[in-house]
Structure 1
């Protein structure tokens, strides 16, 4: 007969939900602060299968130009941009630490 420890199941479910929420929230805040700091991430086009639409070189240049123009129009001072950049890196660090902590729990608590 299989016996399920429901308390342990609920504990794992809650821990996973909280960790996922923290990782996604920290990453989203980090991206938002990165954009506010004037460093919007621009991804170069890559070659994929036909199922995925790839932007052209012209569209990539246009996106880079728009990001640079938006960075110049930012109402933030240089100090505020620096604080936003540090906050972005800290947010990414929190997301990475939560993921690393989860991995360490799996490896050493199992």
Structure 2
């Protein structure tokens, strides 16, 4: 009994996975960058855990929110430029979601 490996198929799967990961991470990073430029800095409220996991304190969370508000006030962009950046961020997030959805459809029906 011999096992033969289809190396071309292996390379195809490797390239597809690498390309998909680069697209998803790239679009997500671009979306976050544009969202920050639009003055809408995402501040994540810390979750409460019951175990020994350390989460930032309420004081640190308030400090982060204050820094986000201060950074939004210093934004040199005009309102029109902020709107373009926000729309670009949402488009980038949409492309990220479409890349993930395309991968799932390829797995399910490919």
- Per the normalisation by structure 1, the TM-score is 0.94
Shift of the alpha carbon at 1:2? 1.4
Q: How does 1:49-88 map to 2 (within 5 A)?
A: 49-50=51-52, 52-88=53-89
Gaps of 5+ in 2: none
CA deviations 1:48-70 (Å, max 9, x no partner) are 332x3211111111110110111
Structure 1 ranges of 4+ moved more than 2 A: none
The question of 1:15 aligning with 2:21 is answered no
In 1, Cα distance between equivalents of 2:54 and 2:72: 27
Give the RMSD, CA atoms, in angstroms: 0.9
TM-score, normalising length: structure 2: 0.94
